[in-house]
Amino acid sequence: MDGIRIESLTKTYRAGQVRALDGVSLEIAPGEVFGIIGPNGAGKTTLLGCLLGFLRPDSGRVSIAGREPDDLAIRAVTGYLPERLTLDRWMTGLDFLAYHHALARLPATGRAAEAQAALARVGLDPDAGRRSIRRYSRGMLQRLGLAQALLGRPRYLFLDEPASGVDPAGVVLFRRLLDYVRAGGTTVVLSSHQLDQVERVCGRVAFVKQGRIEALETLHAGATLARVLRVRGPAGTIGEAVPRAALEQAAQRAGAELREVSPPLARFAVPDDAGAVRLVQALVAAGVPVAEVAPEEGRLERLFLEDGPPGGPA
């Protein structure tokens, strides 16, 4: 298997006093974009550390394409962006990318051009590339780190809080880059606190808590209708006097999707805030008496809010 297999992984710190991972088992398919979420101290970074071969598990095993995670053949096709990003500040951006290009054993021919291309891919201009990293802003550092992780189009990409410190334009760019690597068949493991991002880009998500996988959720990666609104009408209206067909037509006009009708409530999926406004306008225009509109928290948010799903470890 070309994917990632984690078997009964346990990792403790302080001579066994702190159990960071407790019998974690997972399989990540080749080409999958897999998210890891969970509260602070849940064990997400420890899990990534084991996947990268930085940490030695107490027991259990990690294999990537059937090999150890620190196998050089695996590292040659791995990209990594750490959460606490520290770059070699004495280099320029382009020097840094060329340096990692060489370390990744990528062909020397065209190294400068590939470094330039990597810089452009993350939206940094050539001027920034010639500047010392010491003078980079937090967002620029994150973009440069991402560019370095994407060098050579790796087969395995490990991202720890990749959009941290990045402006909204950077977040959009990050999503596009993930689409780009996903199209190339890269297996991505993404650890993040930004649940909306995870929900948008990941096919599956593991909710980690106290070193255990509490839930595995399958999502619709790249879903354009990411937000769900609950619309309530006065009694006897939605789903009764106003039929489902009328609600569907209004939703269609607004670019939304009717998910469920349960009088006096209807649930609609919309892409964003503007989509929500369009939906309400379309409903009012169609004569639907709207008494209340409320956003429904995402599935991943629910995992946090409910302090983990019922039913215990998955």
Partner 1 sequence: MNLTLVLATLRQRFTSPLRLFIVLLFGWMPMLPLLLAPRTGFAALGDCYFLALALAAGMIGQDLSSGTLQLLLARPVTRAQYVFSRWGAVAAGTFLITVLQTLVAALIMALRGVPVPWGEAALFLANGALLALGTASVMALLSSLAAGIGDLGLLFLVFISAQVLEKVGMFKSWDWLARGAGELSGALKPELDLAPLLHGGPVAWFAVVSYLSTVTLCLGLAVVVMNRRELSYASSGN
Among 4, 46, 181, 266, binds partner 1 (CB under 8 A): 46
> Cα Rg for the chain, rounded, in angstroms?
23
Give 301: exposed, middle or buried? Use CB within 10 Å, 0-12, 13-18, 19+: middle
C-beta closer to partner 1: residue 12 or 237 = 12
C-beta closer to partner 1: residue 103 or 291 = 103
Among 15, 16, 86, 245, binds partner 1 (CB under 8 A): 86
Among 1, 29, 102, 117, binds partner 1 (CB under 8 A): 102
CB 99 within 8 A of CB 119: no
Go through 27-48 and write b for each residue having 16 or more CB atoms within 10 A of its CB, e for each that does not: ebeebbbbbbbbeeebbbbbbb
C-beta closer to partner 1: residue 99 or 304 = 99
Scanning the structure block, which residue is given the tokens 């059937």? 66
Q: Is 148 in the site for partner 1 (CB under 8 A)?
A: yes
CA-wise closest residue to 162 among 115, 201, 133, 209:
201
Among 24, 35, 45, 270, binds partner 1 (CB under 8 A): 45
Round to whole Å and give the CA distance between 291 and 243. 17
What's the one-letter identity of residue 176? R
Return left, alpha or beta for 193; rule: phi > 0 is left, psi -120 to 50 is alpha, else beta. alpha
What's the one-letter identity of residue 58? D
Minimum CB–partner distance for residue 140 and partner 1 (Å): 16
How many residues line the site for partner 1 (CB under 8 A)? 37
C-beta closer to partner 1: residue 90 or 180 = 90
Q: Is 48 in the site for partner 1 (CB under 8 A)?
A: yes
Q: Is 90 in the site for partner 1 (CB under 8 A)?
A: yes
Q: Is 117 in the site for partner 1 (CB under 8 A)?
A: no
Round to whole Å and give the CA distance between 217 and 202. 10
Q: Is 13 in the site for partner 1 (CB under 8 A)?
A: yes
Q: Is 75 in the site for partner 1 (CB under 8 A)?
A: yes
- Which residues, 6+ apart, have CB-to-CB distance to 55 below 8 Å? 11, 46, 49
Scanning the structure block, which residue is given the tokens 């398919």? 29
Listed ranges 70-78, 239-247, 252-260, 279-287: which one lies at the site for partner 1 (CB under 8 A): 70-78
Among 65, 76, 226, 241, binds partner 1 (CB under 8 A): 76
CB 4 within 8 A of CB 27: yes
Among 99, 121, 241, 286, binds partner 1 (CB under 8 A): 99
Listed ranges 12-20, 176-184, 242-250, 251-259: which one lies at the site for partner 1 (CB under 8 A): 12-20
What's the one-letter identity of residue 174? F
Round to whole Å and give the CA distance between 139 and 157. 20
> Would you give the binding string for partner 1 spanning residues 25-44, x where CB under 8 A is met?
----------------x-x-
Enumerate binding residues for partner 1 (CB under 8 A): 13-14, 18, 20, 41, 43, 45-46, 48-49, 52, 54-56, 72-73, 75-76, 78-80, 82, 84-88, 90, 99-100, 102-105, 145, 148, 158
